[in-house]
A and B are shown apart, each in its own frame.
Chain A
Amino acid sequence: MSSLSIIASKEFGNFLIVSSAYIVCYTLVGGLVLPLQTVLFPEFTKSISLLFLPHGVRILSAHYFGWKSIPLLLPASYFMWYLSVYATGIPIHPTQPLISLLACILGYKIALSIYFIFERFCGKQKWKILIFGGVFGSFLNGFGNSFFYCEGCALTFSHYIETYMLGDILGQLALMLLLMYLLKWIRLFKV
């Protein structure tokens, strides 16, 4: 096999892994988190999840694949955007998936670039850098997407950033905890 086809097969494998993870997480949000949220917090907007697990997938992809995470995740992002947003008539702008991916990678890069500050508090622990990256990414995500909600209303503008950040950060933490217990559970069944 030529080196080009080896690279292509590796990238296809990466594409399958991140796309599956994104679709599974998005499905969990749509099928479990959002219905629960509607029951528990009926007054809360239905267009933003309070536990948005795919944010964790975006940040982990940014950590492992860098800028490549954008082309790797873009098809799955638009697929889920089409199914859950466009098809159900939720008013989210078509550029939202692209903005979110860009925001996450920029957020992660910002966290990484000021790593030396965090290192004094965090040591060599990458998980804290991921959390900080998730916070920055979420802020940029909320900031970018709020432009499409805000129609000259400053209150709505800040409200959407806060709501996005809450859902994204809680979602990232929940995903990392889920992965932690999933890996433990897999270990119980190892031969």
Chain B
Amino acid sequence: MSTALERLISLKILLEDMELDLGLTSLSSSEKSVYLAAQSLKSDEGIVETKQIMAHLFTKNISRPTFFRALSKIEAKGLIRNSGLKVMGSFEVMDV
């Protein structure tokens, strides 16, 4: 990846953090549930697995398609990202 693109992505994450903090964007209720579940379950290193989030009280009543849609949306918003420990199903939870 080019350095310019990396900088653009980093700028986008930075601005989306700011947007979230200033309350200029809102998460849907399923996105909030998934994110809050991930926050509450993360390890000391900030890592959480999809299976753990799915079993959480906040997300138990969310259907699978909605859960995965919400998961990919909060990933796109920079709230979680692939931990790099596994190809899929392991995320690093970002602070807000």
Chain A residues within 8 Å of B, Cβ to Cβ: 10, 13-14, 17, 60, 64, 123-128, 130, 176, 179-180, 183
Nearest-Cβ distance from residue B83 to partner chain A, whole angstroms: 15
A124 to B13, CA, bound (A): 11
The 8 A CB mask of B1-29 against A (1 = contact, 0 = none) is 00110010011101111110100100000
> 14 A–B contact pairs at CB < 8 A?
A10-B4, A14-B4, A17-B4, A123-B96, A125-B17, A125-B96, A126-B10, A126-B14, A127-B15, A127-B21, A128-B21, A176-B18, A183-B12, A183-B15
**Chain A residues within 8 Å of B16, by CB:** 180
* Total of A-B residue pairs, C-beta within 8 Å: 41
B18 touches A127 (CB 8 A): yes
**Smallest beta-carbon distance B86→chain A, Å:** 22
Instruction: Name B residues whose Cβ lies closer than 8 Å to a Cβ of A.
Output: 3-4, 7, 10-12, 14-19, 21, 24, 94-96
CA–CA, A180 and B18, complex, Å: 9
Alpha-carbon distance A64/B4, docked complex (angstroms): 10
- The 8 Å CB contact of A180, one of B3, B7, B15, is B15
* Contact A125 B21, beta carbon cutoff 8 Å: yes
| B19 neighbours in A (Cβ, 8 Å) | 180
A13 to B10, CA, bound (A): 18
Docked Cα-Cα span, A10 to B3, in Å, equals: 9
Question: Chain B's nearest CB lies how many Å from the CB of A177?
Answer: 8
**What's the minimum C-beta distance from B12 to chain A, rounded to whole angstroms?**
6
Q: In the bound complex, what is the Cα–Cα distance between A60 and B11 (angstroms)?
A: 9
In the complex, the chain A residue whose C-beta lies closest to that of B15 is A180
Residue of A nearest to B18 (CB): A127
Bound together, the chains give a CA A13 to CA B3 distance in angstroms of: 11
Query: Are A124 and B94 touching (Cβ within 8 A)?
Result: yes
CA distance A179 to B12 in the complex (A): 9
